[in-house]
Chain A
């Protein structure tokens, strides 16, 4: 599974990186972010593109699996 490490990046970088990864692969991707508002943004972005989203909290933030 492709991993996008967007931890600590400012808006809208997590969304841009997630979007780029989704464009380049049909496989599920895992996006790592630090802040809750970035988690919500990425989830919303993925859902708006018809993807399924599963998120979990990690020690350093959040892990969002998009498939």
Chain B
């Protein structure tokens, strides 16, 4: 099975992934979140007790499904390859940046596109930052940036993250050890089996189509190649049709209840950091999960960095709050970025610059 050999197949993969997100939104996932890598890693980190924010704790089967879906399809189609050794600790730190930036904006690039399709203008503003971040990463690549080579390792290395994900699933199914929110976004979810199947399908399609939100923009900038953009386009169109048809399309900035805020500068900077870090890593948060599933221990370390970033974000108050409606007074309470979040984000951007311009490919001019 090859989805990568024609634009029609790539668009179809995007459409199918969009339909998965639509189903999950209909059956209980938070409105306008549907399928968000950063939010769901944050929820899973909460379920494991890595942070204590009670409203965002739930072992999201979508994350487990994504990794296992990519693992199974890559084994079945002989694309599984156990590799490791390309700057693991730098990748860990960049993984933290991905989630800290995402939680300042309130969503990963996938959720940004989902929010854009629902008319949330804050997400369109954040897109500016994401494009600029990817662009900065592209400049670094042109100047010879590289995190160095990964090497083929024993096959069992690449199985570790999928096995850990399977363990979380088993804990969720057969024990009461994991934390689960009773209110807030963490309490809103589609039935476990549906989320798991959705994740498996999404993971398999993302693996075969190479879906990557940062890669889509990067490839257009670097090579005028629109292949990955076609996948994202397919997903966007399906979500747009769904949102309009179901009356969920709300065009504007202050839209209570969708977990977003309207601090434009910080929306831009949040996604700037995510776009920048994603290009340095060779892929967006979704792509890191998929690469980890197909055997990359370097991406698995990045995923661990994302979990650490999520824990830090909620333990130290870095995550922003969403615009909400006071149920009694019907007054709109504007969401906001915290001071800690602003400082952390600036540090994240500085770290990206240091990494980008101190890690050069063999033979590249310094």
Contact = CB atoms under 8 A, between A and B. Distances in A.
Interface of A: 7-13, 15-16, 19, 34-37, 40-41, 44-45, 48, 60-61
Interface in B203-231: 210, 215, 218-219, 222-223, 225, 227
A37 B283 contact: no
Contacts of A15: 222-223
Contact of B361 (A7, A13, A35): A13
Contact of A35 (B83, B146, B147, B222): B83
B114 interface: no
B4 A40 contact: yes
B85 A12 contact: no
Contacts of A45: 223, 225
A11 B215 contact: yes
B150 interface: yes
A8 B81 contact: no
A16 B2 CA distance: 23
Interface string B277-295: 0000111000000000000
A45 B225 CA distance: 9
Contact of B283 (A11, A44, A60): A11
Nearest to B207: A37
A8 B85 contact: yes
A47 to B, nearest CB: 10
Interface of B: 2, 4-5, 78-79, 81, 83, 85-86, 141, 146-152, 210, 215, 218-219, 222-223, 225, 227, 281-283, 361
17 contacts: A7-B149, A8-B150, A9-B148, A9-B150, A10-B283, A11-B283, A12-B141, A12-B223, A12-B282, A13-B146, A13-B282, A13-B361, A15-B222, A35-B79, A36-B79, A40-B4, A60-B152
A35 B298 CA distance: 14
Contacts of B148: 8-9
Given A16-B222, A34-B150, A44-B4, A11 B282 contact: yes
B83 A34 contact: yes
A60 B210 CA distance: 22
A64 B308 CA distance: 39
A29 B361 CA distance: 20
Contacts of B219: 12
Given A10-B283, A37-B210, A44-B227, 11 more contacts: A8-B149, A9-B146, A10-B86, A12-B141, A12-B223, A12-B282, A19-B223, A34-B81, A37-B4, A37-B79, A60-B152
Contacts of B281: 10
A16 to B, nearest CB: 7
Contacts of B152: 34, 60-61
Contacts of B227: 44
B141 A16 contact: yes
Contacts of A35: 79, 81, 83
Contacts of A41: 210
Contacts of B5: 44
A45 B83 CA distance: 24
A12 to B, nearest CB: 6
B152 to A, nearest CB: 6
Contacts of A8: 83, 85-86, 148-151
A9 B215 contact: no
Nearest to A57: B78
A9 B210 CA distance: 16
- Top 8 closest pairs, chain A to chain B, by CB: A10-B282, A8-B149, A8-B150, A36-B79, A11-B282, A35-B81, A8-B151, A40-B4
Nearest to B78: A36
A59 B85 CA distance: 18
Contacts of A7: 149
Nearest to A17: B361
